[in-house]
Amino acid sequence: MSPRVVVIGAGFGGIAAAAALLEAGFDDVVVLERAASTGGVWRDNTYPGCACDVPAPLYSYSFAPNPRWSRRFPAHDEILAYLRATADRLGVTGRVCLNAAVTSATWTGGHWRVETADGTTYEADVLVPAVGQLGNPVLPAIPGSYEGPVVHTARWRDDLPVDGARIGVIGTGASAIQLVPAIAGRAAHITVFQRTPPWTLPRPDRRYGRGRRYAYGKMPSLMLLPRAGVWAMTVVTGRAITGGRVAGALVRTASRVQRRLQVRDADLRARLTPVDPMGCKRVLFTNDWLPALTRPDVSLVTEKILETTPSGVRTADGQVHECDLLVYATGFAATDFLAGIRVTGRDGRALADEWAAGAYAHLGLTVPGFPNLFLVYGPNTNTGNTSVLYFIEHQAAYLVQAVRRLASGANPLEVRREVAAAYDEEIQQRLTRSVWASCRSWYRNAAGRVVTNWPGMASEYRRRVARLRPSDYISRNG
Element (H, E) at 8: strand 5-8
**Binding residue for ligand NAP, selected from 134, 201, 396, 451, defined by CB under 6 A:** 134
- Report the alpha-carbon distance of residue 246 to residue 327 in Å, rounded: 38
Rg (CA), the chain: 23
Rounded Cα–Cα distance for residues 177 and 282 (Å): 12
Q: Does residue 326 bind ligand NAP (CB under 6 A)?
A: no
Q: At closest approach, how far in Å is the CB of 52 from ligand NAP?
A: 5
Please report the DSSP string for 78-121 in residue order.
HHHHHHHHHHHHTT-GGGEESS--EEEEEE-SSSEEEEETTS-E
- Give min distance, CB of 165 to ligand NAP, in A: 21
Within residues 48-77, the interface with ligand NAP by CB under 6 A covers 51-53
Closest-by-Cβ residue to ligand NAP is: 173
- Based on the number of CB atoms within 10 Å of its own CB, is 67 exposed (0-12), middle (13-18) or buried (19 or more)? middle
Rounded least distance, CB 156 to ligand NAP, Å = 12
**Chain center to CA of 460:** 20
Is 195 a residue that touches ligand NAP (CB under 6 A)?
A: yes
Task: Describe the strand order of the beta sheet including 298-301 as a list of residue ranges.
Answer: 150-152, 325-328, 166-170, 189-193, 298-301
- Rama region for 63: left / alpha / beta (φ>0; ψ in -120 to 50; rest): alpha
Q: Does 305 bind ligand NAP (CB under 6 A)?
A: yes
Among 200, 330, 366, 453, binds ligand NAP (CB under 6 A): 330
- The size of the interface with ligand NAP (CB under 6 A), counted in residues, is 26
**By CB under 6 A, residue 442 contacts ligand NAP:** yes
Percent helix / strand / coil, the chain, rounded to 5: 35, 20, 45
Residue closer to ligand NAP, measured from CB, 21 or 170:
170
Is residue 308 a contact residue for ligand NAP (CB under 6 A)?
Answer: no
Q: How far is the CB of 174 from ligand NAP (least distance, A)?
A: 3
Which of 43, 282, 321, 362 forms a contact with ligand NAP (CB under 6 A)?
A: 282
Question: Which one of residues 9, 11, 39, 171 is an interface residue with ligand NAP (CB under 6 A)?
Answer: 171
Of 226-234, 240-248, 328-336, 466-474: span binding ligand NAP (CB under 6 A):
328-336
DSSP notation for 418-446: HHHHHHHHHHHHHHHTSGGGGS--TTB-T
- Which CB sits closer to ligand NAP, 76 or 84? 76
**Residue ranges in contact with ligand NAP by CB under 6 A:** 51-53, 134, 140, 153, 170-176, 178, 193, 195-196, 281-282, 305, 329-332, 440, 442
